[in-house]
Amino acid sequence: MSDHSIESRSASLATDGPKPIDGQAPLVEATRLVKIYQDKEHVPVTALNEVDFRAAPGEFTAIAGPSGSGKTTLLNLIGGLDKPTSGSVVVAGQDLAAMSRNQLATFRLNNLGFIFQAYNLIPVLTAEENAEFNLLLQGVPAHERHEQVVREFEDLGIDKELIHRRPAKLSGGQQQRVAIARALVSRPKLILADEPTANLDSKTGARLLDKMRNLNERTGITFLFSTHDPMVMERARRLVILRDGQIAEDDVRG
Amino acid sequence: MSILIKIAWRNIWRNPRRSWVLITALAVAVFSFLGSVAYIDGFSIQMIDSAINLQGGHIQVSGRGYHKNPTIRTYVPDVARVERIIAENDAIRYALQTTTPGMINSAEQASGVVITGVDPVREVEVSSVAESIIEGSYLAPEGEANEVVMGAMLAEQLNVLLGEKVVLMANDLDNEVGAGAYRIVGLYRTNSSDFDKTNVYLHLNQARNLIGYTAEQASTVTLRLDPGLDPVETAIHLQTTLDAADLEILTWHERSPLLVMMNEMMNLANIFLVIILFTAIAFTLINSFIMVIFERIREIGIMSANGVRPGQVRLMLYLEAVFIVLLGTAVGGAIAVVLITWWSAVGLDLSAFAEGLSSFGAASVLYPYIHWGHILNGFVMIFVLVLLAVLYPAVKASRFETVDAINHV
C-alpha cells in the first residue's frame, strides 16, 4: 500500500466516521482520537493524531509500529485505562469518555481482558487465584471458578502442580500463561495484549500466540495486540501499522 | 470482597519486619492505654467505694435541707414509716443514724469531731467502718454500754489507747451542752485519713440521749443497694413511694458532686490518653501506608485495569490497617489483661504516696480494674483514629490514573 493510499484511507475514515465492518457492528470504534502528553519538560507530545480505528468482533489484530508511534496509547484508550485529549472511543456500544472511574472499572471487569508485557500478576496470589481474579470480582461461585480456571490452565498447558505457586515461583512463560488465563477466563468480548511476547523466548512466545489464535478461532473473542514482534504480525489476520500517531497501513489478510 | 480480604492479609506479611514494628508499636500503646485506664478506674472505684461505704451509702434519706445544713434540728420525719417502706424491698439494706458535730476530749487533747450514733447490727450492712477495725472490736450489738469507736489516727492525736475513756460533748436540741464519758472499744483505719481523724461512732441510743432525740428520731437513713439496683432509679422510686415533701432522698452522686466531677475528669483523662498515644501511632501508620502504596502503585494499576473499583482499593488498604490494628490490639490487649488481672489480685503498693492518696479517699494499695465499657470506648477511638490515619494514603491510592500506575517503574 502506497503512502498516498494510506493517507487517503486514513482521511476517508476520519471524515466518514465508523461504519459497519462487513455488515457487522464494530466492537471497537475510535473516532478522531487525539492524545497529547506533556513530557518531563512540559513540552506537548502528540501520541495519537486524529486516529480512526474500528475492530469487528472476532478479529485477531496486531497494531504495530516503531517505538513512540502510539500503539500502546491506542490500546490504553480502547481499554479505558487512559482518557483521550479529544475524540471518542466506543467499545461494545459504550462510550468510554462518558463513564466515571467506577463505571470504567466495572466495564473493564465485564468486557475486557488485559495481557501485559511484564505479566503483572498479583504477587501475593497463587497462580490459580490470579487466574480467577476477575471471576472473584464478578462474584462467580467457587466451584464454577475452579472449573473454569482448571479448563483454562489445561488449554494453555499450565501444569496442575503450578496452580498453588505464587508468581515469584513461576518462570516468565508460566507467568504469562497465567496472565493469559486471567484475561480469558471470564470470556471477555475483547482482549488487549500489550507486547505479550516481548519478555518471552521465541519458542514460548510462538506457542502462546498459537494458543491465543486457536482460542480466538474457537471462542470468537477479539484480540488486539500492540507489538513489535514479527511472530505476532505473522499470525494476525489484520495488521495495522501506526507511524507518528497515525494509521499508516491497515492490512486485512482474511 | 473475599479476594480483597485475602490480598490485604497477605500484603501485611510481604514486609514482615515493617508489619511487626507497627504491630509492636500498637501493642505497646494498647498495653499502656489499658494499664492506665485500669489504674485510673481502680483509683476511681476506690474513691467511690469510700464515699459509699463511709459516707452515706448509695442513697441517704434525711429531712429536707439536711444535706446543705446538717444540723440536729433537721431530722427524718416519721422515720418509722420511712423504715417500713424501705424494708419492703429485699434488695435494700438500711440503717438509721444520728449525726452531730461535737468535741472529743482526752486527758491531754481535744478535737472537733462528727459524732454518729448507729445501730451496730444494721450499720455493718451499710458501712465498712466495722470492717476497718484494726484494734479492738466494733460496737457491741446491745446498745446500752457507753462505747465509742474512733479512727486510730484520732486516737493517736488524742494520745489515747484502746480501753481508755474519752469525753464527748455536743449541743442538744435545747442548745444545752450534753456530755458523756465513753470507753474506746475499737480503733479503725480506712482509706481516708481525713475521715479517720474526724469521725467517732456511738450506739444509736447513746447518741440520741446526747443530743436530746427521742427513740423515734434519726438524722439520716442510709441505704445500701444490692448489685443490679440502680441508685438513681431507686431514689426516684422511693421519692414517689414515700411522697413526702419534707424528705430529702439523695444518691451518692448528688451528695458528692466533687467526686462525680473527679470521676468525669478521669474519664476525660482516659480519652486524652487514647488520643495522645494513638495520634503518635497514627503518624507511624500514615508513613508506613504511604510507603506501602508507593511500593505497590503498579499492582494497584493492574488491579484497577482488571476491574477493581477505586472504593475497593480503599477498602483493601483499610482492611490492611484493620488487620494490623487487630493484631496489635490482640497482642497488647492479651498482655495487658493478664498483667492487670494479676495486679488486680495483688494490688500495686503505693505506700510512698499513701498520705496523698488517703486525702482522696484512696488506699495506698491500688487495685486496677478492667472497666470493659471504658476499654470498648478506647478501642472504638483507636479504630476511628487508625481509619482516619489511613484515609489519606487510601484515597491517594484510589486516585492513581490507571495508565500511569501500570507504567510506574
Close Cβ partners of A51 (under 8 Å, ≥ 6 residues apart): A10, A30, A32, A33, A34, A70, A74, A87, A242, A245, A246, A247
Interface test mutation site (partner B, options A35, A126, A132, A133, max chain B beta carbons within 10 A): A133
* CA triple A45-A46-A51, angle to 5 deg: 170
Mapped onto helix, strand or coil, the DSSP state of residue B103 is strand
A173-227 pLDDT, tens digit per residue, is 899 889 989 998 988 999 999 988 888 788 888 888 998 898 899 889 999 999 9
B131-158 pLDDT, tens digit per residue, is 999 999 999 988 678 999 999 999 999 9
Close Cβ partners of B237 (under 8 Å, ≥ 6 residues apart): none
- Find out whether B64 and B239 touch, Cβ atoms under 8 Å: no
| Beta-sheet pairing, A94-95 with A86-91 | antiparallel
Q: Does residue B273 sit at the A interface (CB-CB below 8 Å)?
A: no
CA distance B321 to chain A (A): 17
- Find out whether A213 and A60 touch, Cβ atoms under 8 Å: yes
Q: Which domains does chain A have, with CATH numbers?
A: 57-80+99-252 (3.40.50.300)
Set of chain B residues whose Cβ sits within 8 Å of the Cβ of A79: 305
Segments making up each domain of chain B, as ranges: 2-51+259-406, 56-255
| Predicted confidence pLDDT, tens digits, chain B (409 residues) | 688 999 999 999 988 998 999 899 889 988 988 888 888 888 888 888 888 888 889 999 999 999 899 999 999 999 999 999 999 999 999 999 999 999 999 998 999 999 999 999 999 999 999 999 999 999 998 867 899 999 999 999 999 999 999 999 999 999 899 899 999 999 999 878 888 999 999 999 999 999 999 989 999 999 999 988 999 999 999 999 988 788 999 999 888 888 888 888 888 887 888 788 888 888 888 888 888 888 889 999 999 999 999 999 999 999 999 999 999 999 999 999 899 889 888 888 777 777 777 666 666 778 888 888 878 887 888 888 888 888 888 998 888 888 888 887 7
- Cβ-Cβ pairs closer than 8 A, A with B, add up to 63
| Partners of B251 in beta bridges | B59
Candidates B11, B306, B310; nearest CB to A109: B306
pLDDT band at A16 (very low <50, low <70, confident <90, very high): very low
Q: Does residue B256 sit at the A interface (CB-CB below 8 Å)?
A: no
Query: Which residues of chain A form beta strands (DSSP E)?
Result: 28-38, 44-55, 60-64, 86-91, 94-95, 112-115, 190-194, 222-227, 238-243, 246-252
Set of chain A residues whose Cβ sits within 8 Å of the Cβ of B310: 101-102, 105
